[in-house]
Structure 1
């Protein structure tokens, strides 16, 4: 696959990723036990030289920031006259750091650790730093930006990592006119409303480490190549939602794009909705759902995308289900919803692969009057996948023979035919409005047996009585002979006459 080839040929990506890790200070946690100042200074300087942007963290990081003396008061420290300002737990003493009250602070780089509030207001907090070129915010609990970033003409690199940030709008960074690198890794972002609005000079966006919900619309990663290529670590984005958990986002979006194009290009499915509902682990095979309900279909679609396993085609005018028997596109379709159609016969499915392997078959609200009970019995007996078979709200006609077999079938497969108690039928000839639940009907009801007929002794009953009497007589004679032999030593007369 194209996706797999990208993973194999990923050397350039690996180098880029390591470079930005150095810029953003991600290696800080890994090398915390080493000489922090010397290591970070070296990596940041190398990154700055390689990318032509200022290092985000020139000589310090937010690792173990709570142990710093100024963290208790939420104060900032100026580490150089026009260079880095480091703030731990807030920015309460900015006024004391400003030698020219009322004017912007001349800092070019800012390190903000442990922001104390649940939100961050860039419009208010950053307006004092108009000359800022690099901004890092780490290890903070805020979840959102109250406003978008203000107009900033020098800010080239932003690193917002290890926070509870869960939402950003497409316009959040639009007014940062010189922005080149944006690192949003290791936050709590679930979705993006769409590709971020970024300046023409922008080069690299990093998004890995967030709990992405891949049921959302991230198809722009592929459909808008000029935007997708800006996400430098797109191969590292992992889905965390229940449907696609631990799948790579790029793979999920690739399957979604292919499915959408396939559905839109085939005339049988133009108005249908095609969705991917699962990706099989290890094999990474996608499974698709096609929904063609309420579209006035008169026949089942002749074409379905490969790997389609579920078909919804309720509330249409379908009367023919032959495609389930002989159309290869339906071979892997295990769930079929055909509720509220015009189906009057399913005998064509007898002894078919599909009937012996289906998982869900919904025929509620159709025109079924009879079916081959023995064929369904054999199919369900052999089908280990069968989980749900629904047949209520059909005009079943319970003749004596069919009604009894249907009742036995419903009783036997109650766990699969879960609407068995709602299956009703007409059991009085000439009275189509007289409906009753099949499971409550007796042989007397369905076979129109009167009380007199039921009490009449038939010849077979006479024969059974005679045979039972003979058996009792023989057993009694045997007991009698045994008694006399045991206590009187006399054998039966017939034994004495035997040669």
Structure 2
């Protein structure tokens, strides 16, 4: 290559680099005022944005190396705008020192969680509040985003976790955890921490509910839907902390034949009658004499709490009682059959026989004592030939 060609190439390269730097350093969005402060740091002051894309005149977020990538911006002020961040701005402002978001309409969603990485750069964060969705209306942005992050990081795999209620004082935050129809065979072990949980585990293949009793995370689950699973027993919940504090338990459509009525009666006795509910229909309930004499009074006494009491029926294998509403089954028809009468008669005869045996033994002992003392035989013996 000739010396002239090399010189031309060098000049072209230098000119290109100069144009790149000049283009980058002079770029300013049409909707912003751009200037250098007293420290010669670049400030973008932008108002009335309808989308973040307006920071680039073509509406496209720049890629690394683009002339319009504002890596020289140290202070970004976005005011009086409606901000629904669809993309993380952090990579596009790598040298940012301060970010101001005052007087904006801010949609707090998981797409904005990246803002937590700029919490130390955010100006007056205590004055920046969510305006949507309604769940977060009035909540400080950083608090809302931290909640979203914490809940998402401990959401059971494949489930959907959403913040359902967030008071302004951050007390009694409620999270909805939906694990409906996911083919689960076990109750999940990990749950969001430090929040009240409403959980839906319906339409799975769960058989064992002991996780509710032994996992402390479930002490915060107050509403639990377990409808249409394969649960045969809930005796593992007796005397557990969980059963003492639930407000709604749905057990519809399982394989339950009986439940610990005494334990539940104790719970209902201490619970606010308006604060606890159960759903028990579509189970193959036993209706034999022993079971129904406990279960029927239980559901009759607590029919205000068992919301589907009119659909709680005897199982298909309960003979003449099959399909009958348990609340309406006549105990006489279950407990006083002919077979039971025969058993009762035998019991009476056995008692009479036992009494006669005791009388006979007593008489023999008395006669023996009298004979030893007086030498006289009993009266009946003296009459024998």
Q: Which TM-score applies when normalising by structure 1?
A: 0.49
Q: Is the 8 A contact 1:380 1:386 kept in 2?
A: no
Shift of 1:396: 0.9
Shift of 1:345: 1.0
Match of 1:335 among 204, 215, 223: 223
SS at match of 1:252: helix
Per the alignment, residue 400 of structure 1 pairs with: 289
**1:192 correspondence with 2:59:** no
Q: Point out the more displaced range, 319-328 or 302-311.
A: 302-311
Q: Tell me how many residue pairs correspond in the alignment.
A: 290
**1:347 correspondence with 2:232:** no
Match of 2:106 among 194, 197, 212: 212
Q: Is the 8 A contact 2:45 2:78 kept in 1?
A: no
Structure 1 residues 103-182: aligned runs within 5 Å: 157-160=45-48, 168-175=50-57
Show structure 2 runs of 5+ residues with no match: 1-32, 59-67, 342-385
Shift of 1:277: 3.4
Deviations 1:360-392 (A, max 9, x none): 111111100112222211111112384221111
Shift of 1:407: 3.2
SS at match of 1:397: coil
Taking a change above 3 Å as real, the CA distance of residues 204 and 375 of structure 1, as seen in their structure-2 partners, is: closer
Q: 2:127, 2:39 → 1: CA distance?
A: 21
Structure 1 residues 294-443: aligned runs within 5 Å: 294-307=181-194, 309-384=197-272, 386-426=275-315, 429-430=318-319, 434-443=322-331
Q: Is the 8 A contact 2:201 2:225 kept in 1?
A: yes
Q: 1:438, 1:191 → 2: CA distance?
A: 55
| Larger relative contact order, structure 1 or 2 (CA cutoff 8 Å, min sep 6) | 2
Taking a change above 3 Å as real, the CA distance of residues 334 and 158 of structure 1, as seen in their structure-2 partners, is: closer
Q: Is the 8 A contact 2:257 2:284 kept in 1?
A: yes
Q: 2:168, 2:51 → 1: CA distance?
A: 33
Deviations 1:156-176 (A, max 9, x none): 64333xxxx8xx334233128
Q: Is the 8 A contact 2:76 2:100 kept in 1?
A: yes
Taking a change above 3 Å as real, the CA distance of residues 249 and 276 of structure 1, as seen in their structure-2 partners, is: same
**1:292 correspondence with 2:179:** yes
Q: 1:405, 1:190 → 2: CA distance?
A: 61
Taking a change above 3 Å as real, the CA distance of residues 372 and 157 of structure 1, as seen in their structure-2 partners, is: closer
Deviations 1:96-151 (A, max 9, x none): xxxxxxxxxxxxxxxxxxxxxxxxxxxxxxxxxxxxxxxxxxxxxxxxxxxxxxxx
Taking a change above 3 Å as real, the CA distance of residues 178 and 334 of structure 1, as seen in their structure-2 partners, is: closer
Show structure 1 runs of 5+ residues with no match: 1-43, 56-155, 264-268, 454-499
SS at match of 1:340: coil
Taking a change above 3 Å as real, the CA distance of residues 232 and 428 of structure 1, as seen in their structure-2 partners, is: closer
Taking a change above 3 Å as real, the CA distance of residues 159 and 244 of structure 1, as seen in their structure-2 partners, is: closer
Q: Which has the higher helix share?
A: 2
Taking a change above 3 Å as real, the CA distance of residues 331 and 201 of structure 1, as seen in their structure-2 partners, is: closer
Q: Is the 8 A contact 1:287 1:307 kept in 2?
A: no
Taking a change above 3 Å as real, the CA distance of residues 406 and 191 of structure 1, as seen in their structure-2 partners, is: farther
SS at match of 2:199: strand
Structure 1 residues 233-248: aligned runs within 5 Å: 234-240=125-131, 241-248=133-140
Q: 2:46, 2:253 → 1: CA distance?
A: 60
Per the alignment, residue 157 of structure 2 pairs with: 270
SS at match of 1:410: helix
Q: Is the 8 A contact 1:169 1:193 kept in 2?
A: no
Q: Is the 8 A contact 1:288 1:307 kept in 2?
A: no
Q: Is the 8 A contact 2:311 2:325 kept in 1?
A: yes
Q: Is the 8 A contact 1:186 1:209 kept in 2?
A: yes
Q: 1:381, 1:244 → 2: CA distance?
A: 36
Q: 1:272, 1:441 → 2: CA distance?
A: 41
Taking a change above 3 Å as real, the CA distance of residues 169 and 448 of structure 1, as seen in their structure-2 partners, is: farther
Shift of 1:397: 1.8
Shift of 1:394: 0.8
Per the alignment, residue 357 of structure 2 pairs with: none
What is the CA RMSD across the aligned residues, in angstroms? 3.9
Q: 1:295, 1:246 → 2: CA distance?
A: 35
Q: Is the 8 A contact 2:135 2:163 kept in 1?
A: no
Taking a change above 3 Å as real, the CA distance of residues 211 and 442 of structure 1, as seen in their structure-2 partners, is: farther
Taking a change above 3 Å as real, the CA distance of residues 52 and 415 of structure 1, as seen in their structure-2 partners, is: farther
Q: Which TM-score applies when normalising by structure 2?
A: 0.62
Taking a change above 3 Å as real, the CA distance of residues 232 and 417 of structure 1, as seen in their structure-2 partners, is: same
